[in-house]
Structure 1
Amino acid sequence: MAPTRRRVLQALGAASAAAIAGCSSDGGGGSGDDGNDSTGGSTDAPAADDGDATGDGSAQDEPQSPEAAARQLVDHLFAGEYEAGQALFVEAYQSRATPAILERLRLGFNAAGGAFQEITGVETSVRSGLDAVDLTLQLERTTAPFRVTVTQDVQIRSAIIAGEYERASYADAGRFDATEHTLEPGGCQLGATVTTPADAEQAPGVVLVHGSGPSDRDLTVGANKPYRDLAEGLASRGVAVLRYEKRTFACNVAAAEHTVDHVTVDDALHALSWFRNRDDVLADDVAVVGHSLGAMMAPEIARRDGRVAGAVGLAAPTRPLADVFLDQVDHLASVGEHTPSGIEQQRNQWQRAAEQIRTGNFEDDESLLGYPGALWRSLDGYDPVATAEGLDVPQHYLQGGRDYQVTVEDDFAAWQSAFGDADDVALSAYDPLNHAFLPGQGPSVPQAYAVPNQVSESVVADLAAWLQR
């Protein structure tokens, strides 16, 4: 069945956060994930209106060509002239390119790539009756693609970060083999990829487990594929990896059946059993590696499986997810100088929903914070730290210092408190990394996920060394 496309950060465990920021798909990204409108950094999406925008454009020269309009937008964007940038858009779309949204677009470029240097490339084409201008932006640490579509009367219709995935620099294609498979747990077919070291008859292995929302096997976010980076990087270092489509990406799941067991734990247990039966995998040396909600559930997956060689949590929440989500909204409201006028209303709505979740006053098919009540009910009473403390297997918890979705202060600190002196539990923090373990600087914003990047090599190297200890 065709995957449902929703918003980009749900795949990273932050339902609806990108909707506030105005992220949307306009082509040029990978397949959808959590609602993955996969390009992440688009101004062509419904968003909360920004009350301080003037949008009159009276103080700027009118561009005379699509390229001039695109260049003018870049100039305004990186000069912090967001009202002037908004005025370049078709009037009907100016509410989708408010100063708040444009500011976050600039912050996304800067976070992932550093300061803007210059435009180094321009290509023009026609797409769906609109002039498309593809710009290559030279940033301090990388280049970034920026596509601007322009109407016949030289007004901007959309602007997106439209890059394509590039294999991680540390992934050596000559050192691993990749094969395609289909897992069939409980009436759903999940596309999967197994990546194995090319020079080993048998290798230790890991199964990658997704976060809260729908995601493809690569955890595709814009031009980035963090799970593919991990899989190919680990396989290049001697570790076999299984990654698979999440059930909510591959198949329709009724709201009332959307429990954490049905959409996460049971499929992970099936994947572990399937992976152990391969001749090229050491059956007694397979670990579970979860990200976000998958990391939160990694101790429970390990407990139920009973055979894993280790449990790994990448950005593992320790708090109730409703609290995690509310803190994400607070962060997004605090970033930059411009705040969307609708964010306080959304915060109040989420606060009411969080209270419903705490009291259990909801139906299983009721949507709360972007997820069915069944999911929230199934998580009630689950304590990842207590579950982890009951395990008798090695564990490793890794955390990005720039992660605003699962934080060092509120989540990683709990893992440190529980396991700071434990010999069989490793704790690793990486200051420059965000929730997807992509490096950057400055404030973390959803749009940064769309800028071409790669999972930090230090994470891959540390994880490979720990798995082969």
Structure 2
Amino acid sequence: MSDENVQDIKDIEGIWLGSLEVPGGNELRILFNISTGPEGLPTATMDSLDQEANGIPVETVTYKDGDLRLEVKSIRGVFEGTLKEDRKTIEGEWKQAGSVLPLVLSRIDEKPEIRREQDPVKPYPYDEEEVVYENTEAGVKLAGTLTLPRSEGPFPAVILITGSGPQNRDEGVFGHRPFLVLSDYLTRQGIAVLRADDRGIGGSTGNVSNVTSEDFAGDVLAGIEYLKSREEIDPTRIGLIGHSEGGLIAPIVAVRSPDVAFIVLMAGPGLTGEEIILLQSDLISRAEGVDNETITRNNVLMKSMYSVIKEEQNNTIAEKKLRKLIMDEMANMSEEEKQNSGYSEATLDALVNAQVQTLISPWMRFFLTYDPAPTLMQVKCPVLAINGEKDLQVPPEENLQAIEEALKAGGNKDYTVKEVPGLNHLFQTAQTGSPSEYTAIEETISPAALEMIGNWISEHIQEK
């Protein structure tokens, strides 16, 4: 490598921070750490700060004549930008899943600390242990954190189950760490808590491209077996707390395992995935001020796409039908709508392909058609089901009613169903409940929700 190229790399060495404005009005902070590796070659890692995804390898780093290209293959993302004359700014674009978003990186001295008011501060008044256990049936190792009270055991315990999408053990989202806050609260109440990274995230192994909620239920079952192996844990008092999709998974596990003493469903689904997504899309669109004509058109498109997924099991045929539906819709978009959706002629094929692959994935096929009611009817352990009044993602009225009806029909003798005033899908105190508020709200979980969960569990774990 020439001295000139080595000097070029020195120009971009350091920590670079920028923000992506994502749909819904939220911002995701992206950080690149660029350095010189062996043989003078550039190397880099990426952090998505608000999603708590850190140290993501940047497989390809190319820099020449002021132009930088960073390729992050694991998430199919690429940044391309140009170093400005001040050597402190790189202006460019982030490309991922067919979308192209402007991204301006600024050089900073050190990585910013990400902390919310409710994040617990060490030293904790309890013990914290990094653990690894295995779902032997799936060949997956799960890495997590076990928190243990310092009082005399054996302790009751809960496993926290994350919502949809790749999640770490803290369920990090938009700068919040709900499961860190919940774990801290419960452990201070004398309850041991196990929380783990999802498959393929953080320290956990596994591929999520071909799995469904039922596979994730297997990971939770492995967590139960792990807790039963710990002498500090009372095996007769192990419960589950599932948030969002986790609230769909918890009943599946409770039916499969007689070791589940109770379950807590935080914004858990009571309807099929298709029903939830259609309700969710309508409510969020209205909260964001989308006009009725656009809402109706989107609703028709979604129903058409979901019909294809439900009726056509052959992926090749389904792909063709879905691609035609999406292309026809894009052809009818106004220029403003195309711009807002990230549409461009250069990225059209990648954008459509990304949408289609998501729609025909095993996870989506399962989620759209899975009806939680038959499983809920088989749940015999105590159940607490709570939703925020302003939850626009899993609307409370329809889902709580469906959950209660299923539990009642199944003869469950101990269930509590509550809608919590003023809270959104993350159980934050909210104005509208729109996801666009999540980042701006400083509160991670309402103290009222924490107290409700803690008190209910305490009532159900009294030693007999």
Give the TM-score range, shorter chain.
Answer: 0.5 to 0.7
Tell me whether 1:468 sits opposite 2:418 in the alignment.
Answer: no
2:147 to 195, 203, 213: 195
Q: Confirm whether residue 428 of structure 1 aligns to residue 451 of structure 2.
A: no
Matched, 1:274 2:226: yes
3-state SS, counterpart of residue 178 of structure 1: strand
Change over 3 Å in CA distance of 1:338–1:313 after alignment to 2: closer
CA distance in 1, matches of 2:451, 2:143: 27
295-304 or 419-428: bigger deviation: 419-428
Aligned to 1:261: 214
Structure 2 residue aligned with 1:354:
306
Tell whether the 8 Å contact from 1:39 to 1:221 is kept in structure 2 after alignment.
yes
- Give the Å deviation of 1:251: 4.3
- Whole-angstrom distance in 2 between the partners of 1:199 and 1:127: 52
Cα distance change, pair 171–150 in 1 and its aligned pair in 2 (3 A)? closer
For 2:403, give the aligned amino acid: W
1:286 corresponds to which of 214, 222, 238: 238
Give the aligned CA root-mean-square deviation in angstroms. Answer: 3.8
Query: Is residue 260 of structure 2 the alignment partner of residue 308 of structure 1?
Result: yes
Any unmatched runs of 5+ in structure 1? 1-17, 30-35, 41-124, 131-148, 153-161
Percent sequence identity over aligned pairs: 23
1:216 aligns with 2:168: yes
Displacement after TM superposition at 1:358 (Å)? 3.1
Aligned to 1:398: 386
Aligned pair partner of 1:321 in 253, 270, 273: 273
Quote the Cα distance in structure 2 between the aligned partners of 1:331 and 1:411. Answer: 14
1:26 is matched with: 29
C-alpha contact (below 8 Å) 1:323/1:354 kept by paired residues: no
Asked whether the equivalents of residues 28 and 39 of structure 1 are also in contact (C-alpha less than 8 Å), the reply is no
Match for 1:247 among 176, 199, 211?
199
Alpha-carbon distance in structure 2 between the residues aligned to 1:369 and 1:163:
36
Give the whole-Å Cα distance in 1 for the aligned partners of 2:289 and 2:120: 37
- Alignment partners' CA distance in 2, 1:226 and 1:369: 30
Higher alpha-carbon deviation: 229-238 or 420-429: 420-429
Cα distance in 2 between the residues matched to 1:247 and 1:150: 32
- The aligned counterpart of 2:285 is 333
Letter in structure 2 aligned against 1:231: S
Partners of 2:272 and 2:406 in 1: CA distance? 17
**Aligned residues between the structures:** 336
* Deviation of 1:388 (Å): 2.0
User: Which structure features the higher share of strand residues?
Assistant: 2
Match of residue 441 from structure 1: 431
Q: Which residue of 2 aligns with 1:387?
A: 375
Summarize deviations over 1:285-322 as a string: whole Å, max 9, x none.
Answer: 00111111110121111111121111221111111112
Shift in alpha-carbon separation, 1:128–1:372, aligned structure 2, 3 A: farther
SS of 1:214's partner is coil
What is the one-letter code of the residue matched to 2:458? Q
TM-score of the aligned structures, taking structure 2 as reference length: 0.63
Is residue 241–residue 265 contact of structure 2 (8 Å, CA) maintained in 1? yes
State how 1:52-63 maps to structure 2 within 5 Å.
none
Larger radius of gyration: 2
What is the Cα deviation at residue 359 of structure 1?
2.4
User: How big is the shift at 1:443?
Assistant: 4.5
Cα distance in 2 for residues equivalent to 1:438 and 1:261: 28
C-alpha distance in 2 between matches for 1:342 and 1:355: 20
Partner SS, residue 194 of structure 1 = strand
- Secondary structure (helix, strand or coil) at the match of 2:140 reads coil
- Greater RCO structure (CA 8 Å; 6+ sep): 1
> What amino acid does structure 1 have at the position aligned with 2:133?
L
Cα deviation for residue 38 of structure 1 reads 5.6
Query: What's the counterpart of residue 184 of structure 1?
Result: 134
Q: From the superposition, tell whether residues 237 and 351 of structure 1 become closer, same or farther in structure 2 (CA, over 3 Å).
A: same
Letter in 1 for 2:306: A
Q: 1:19 to 1:26 in 2, by over 3 A?
A: closer
**Cα deviation digits, residues 67-109 of structure 1 (max 9, x gap):** xxxxxxxxxxxxxxxxxxxxxxxxxxxxxxxxxxxxxxxxxxx
- The alpha-carbon deviation at position 356 of structure 1 amounts to 2.0
* CA positional deviation for 1:284: 0.9
> Distance between the aligned counterparts of 1:299 and 1:400, measured in 2?
20
- What is the distance in 2 between the residues matched to 1:450 and 1:369? 32
> Structure 1: which amino acid aligns with 2:130?
E
Return the letter of the residue paired with 2:455. A
Q: Using the alignment, how far apart are the partners of 1:171 and 1:27 within structure 2?
A: 25
Alpha-carbon distance in 2 for matches of 1:349, 1:372 = 16
Aligned positions of 1:166-177 closer than 5 A: 166=116, 168=118, 174-177=124-127
Quick one: structure 1 residues 269 and 251, their matched pair in 2 at CA, closer, same or farther if it must change by over 3 Å?
A: same
Contact 1:398 1:427 in 2 (8 A): yes
- Secondary structure at the aligned position of 2:430 is classed as coil
Uncovered stretches (5+) of structure 2, i.e. residues with no partner? 1-20, 33-46, 52-85, 92-102, 107-111, 320-354, 460-464
Offset at residue 274 of structure 1 (A): 0.6
Cα distance in 1, alignment partners of residues 159 and 105 from structure 2: 47
Report the alpha carbon displacement of residue 253 of structure 1 after superposing the two structures with TM: 2.2
State the TM-score, normalizing by the size of structure 1. Answer: 0.62
2:178 is the counterpart of 1:226:
yes
* C-alpha separation in 1, matches of 2:156 and 2:257: 17
CA distance 1:460–1:447, shift in 2 (3 Å):
closer
Q: After the TM superposition, which of the residue ranges 337-346 and 299-308 deviates more from structure 2?
A: 337-346
Question: CA offsets per residue over residues 261-298 of structure 1, 9 Å max, x none?
Answer: 22x11101101111121121111100111111110121
CA distance in 2, matches of 1:220, 1:429: 24
Is the contact made by 1:436 and 1:455 (CA closer than 8 Å) also made in structure 2?
yes
